Structure 1
């Protein structure tokens, strides 16, 4: 069965799966939930794939509930969705993203779109070009970035969906659009040592972000463009990357961070991340946010304490826009991921209570 048929079937199942009409999303024109101000959200990009595999989700009383509705009822008001260019299995491509974004929109939730500019995961260890972009000249590569960005965003626009935030690249600390190694993009994994420069390709790196940013603004002028790095507690890395962007007059609106604390060091990591956000606001005059956070699913009380402190301290920063949990609905070691916030029965753990405070 083709992917779109699977997705459409999944939507029908989603509407029919609840035990009664009371369980179904009502899609109010004027949501009674707080959908403004500080964003409390989740990246649920795996959701349609999980549903197609038979995964179901339940509220605390054991009632089967559509996942985004469940997260909304737990205090979340925003959904983040990743986009891959041409993934081999179809998940997280344009069509899949539109389906999930439409569902979030119907629930009155705010939407963030996260462009990876890859066919697969783009993260600190992997920033490879989509297969169709390999061998393109620099100008052709910029055209591909712009065309892909506008294609996905226009598909959303056609459905009446306006994303509030758009990421141009995902955890791009080591650069973007590699061929075989990081030197293509002009950045390396570690912060460069004093006296060592990486000027050879820094402009290309900045130009890729500029190209994506300009494409976003062409379709959605009011969307906030995000530049996202990993290790939100590492101030040196952030100063390095954002000094490069400042030197190249790169246009963007928000500095976003990932933070994955351990159960034994979360307090110091949260403190360092908060200090880093404050420094980014002061140094670059930009808004900030936590685009990804995760903790071990089987340590829910510690996770709740960490999230409660992170959210409270983030909200205390006037220029901080929000906090997003990464794939909290993952359970049963889905794809080997163990940093979700649902237990093995498909119910949310107490960790997510932090989003309802």
Structure 2
């Protein structure tokens, strides 16, 4: 694939960027403005959802009713709850497993087009693996597993640059790009483990810089899990910052419920204040069998995060059904195919 604007092969463009870094020619020779995000605080509070399973669910005959019990386009239903943004994950070389595969950059780009056509913003999330990476698992793509750090760094430059250009080719400019998923312990371990902070930072900075090279005005997030464990989040952010890590927004996952919400929100505010970066809750959810609790907890997060100037909250796969991958943290009742009252939390 080539850059459609310059018709210069990606690898040559990447080499030019690397040369700029080696000669000290500014921020990866991208220009001073290329690594600066627009003021994130100016935007309205974002209410969003990750619906990356949507194409596979549709392909397997799943559908959704609105609160009146009428079958309706999922995007239309979500917008009725005030949702303005969709989070989409992408994997490097995924399998065809309906729940744990798909989400290649081509598939993700096609779903991003559907989001754009529905009038919804897109958060593009890189896992840097062939399937799930999370707070407890950070496996590199199989094709990268035997690489040296230098080789993996090249692979990261190529992969993110190519992926962002695929999204661009499909006519979508992401509102945000998320580099890594719940990276408390690092990425692509062991090479990018937090115990090797310079390498971890190098890999993530490569992703940051290539995202900015293709989408200069799009803010880039790092993503940490479990803000209730403040020390774990701070451990990553300290290592990343102290090794020259670049990021615009701190993304946080929290599935806290009930009385746990307020102290988690307080920790989120501490993280925002301590690192000078706005926070965004990029994952939330709760037991599908306790919709009132999930609704009230969602309201608590939205009002709390908005209250200290955080940027938004995303519900993780609210459209999921228990019969699809045994998922039990959605906001849809599978028997009636209607949204549960959990979705009313977005009216906060």
TM-score range, shorter chain: 0.7 to 0.9
Query: Are residue 278 (structure 1) and residue 279 (structure 2) matched?
Result: no
Query: Are residue 242 (structure 1) and residue 237 (structure 2) matched?
Result: yes
The Cα offsets for residues 143-174 of structure 1, whole Å up to 9 and x where unpaired, read as 11121112121111112211011111000112
The Cα offsets for residues 20-72 of structure 1, whole Å up to 9 and x where unpaired, read as xxxxxxxxxxxxxxxx6111000001110100010001101111111122111
Query: Are residue 309 (structure 1) and residue 320 (structure 2) matched?
Result: no
Counterpart of 2:61? 54
Query: Are residue 295 (structure 1) and residue 286 (structure 2) matched?
Result: yes
Counterpart of 1:339? 329
Cα distance in structure 2, aligned partners of 1:352 and 1:186: 37
Counterpart of 1:108? 119
Cα distance in structure 2, aligned partners of 1:63 and 1:104: 21
Query: Are residue 222 (structure 1) and residue 233 (structure 2) matched?
Result: no
Counterpart of 1:174? 185
Query: Are residue 122 (structure 1) and residue 133 (structure 2) matched?
Result: yes
Cα distance in structure 1, aligned partners of 2:197 and 2:271: 20
Cα distance in structure 2, aligned partners of 1:276 and 1:301: 24
Deviates more, 1:272-281 or 1:76-85: 272-281
Cα distance in structure 1, aligned partners of 2:156 and 2:230: 29
Tell me the CA shift for residue 333 of structure 1. 3.5
Counterpart of 1:329? 319
Q: How large is the RMSD of aligned CA atoms in angstroms?
A: 1.3
**For 1:1-357, what aligned pairs fall within 5 Å after superposition?**
37-89=44-96, 91-178=102-189, 183-187=190-194, 198=195, 201-262=196-257, 266-268=258-260, 270-318=261-309, 320-344=310-334, 345-357=336-348
The Cα offsets for residues 291-321 of structure 1, whole Å up to 9 and x where unpaired, read as 0001001111111111111101111122x11
Residues 222 and 251 in structure 2, CA contact (< 8 A), matched pair in contact too = yes
TM-score (norm: length of structure 1): 0.82
Residues 41 and 323 in structure 1, CA contact (< 8 A), matched pair in contact too = yes
Cα distance in structure 1, aligned partners of 2:202 and 2:270: 24
> Unpaired segments of 5 or more residues in structure 2?
1-42
The Cα offsets for residues 50-102 of structure 1, whole Å up to 9 and x where unpaired, read as 00010001101111111122111121000000000010116100121011100
Cα distance in structure 1, aligned partners of 2:342 and 2:74: 16
Cα distance in structure 2, aligned partners of 1:145 and 1:73: 38
Cα distance in structure 2, aligned partners of 1:276 and 1:253: 19
Counterpart of 1:192? none
Tell me the CA shift for residue 332 of structure 1. 3.3
Residues 256 and 264 in structure 2, CA contact (< 8 A), matched pair in contact too = no
3-state SS, counterpart of residue 297 of structure 2: helix
Does 1 or 2 have the higher relative contact order (CA < 8 Å, sep 6+)? 2
Cα distance in structure 1, aligned partners of 2:157 and 2:45: 30
Residues 192 and 203 in structure 2, CA contact (< 8 A), matched pair in contact too = no
Aligned residues: 301
TM-score (norm: length of structure 2): 0.84
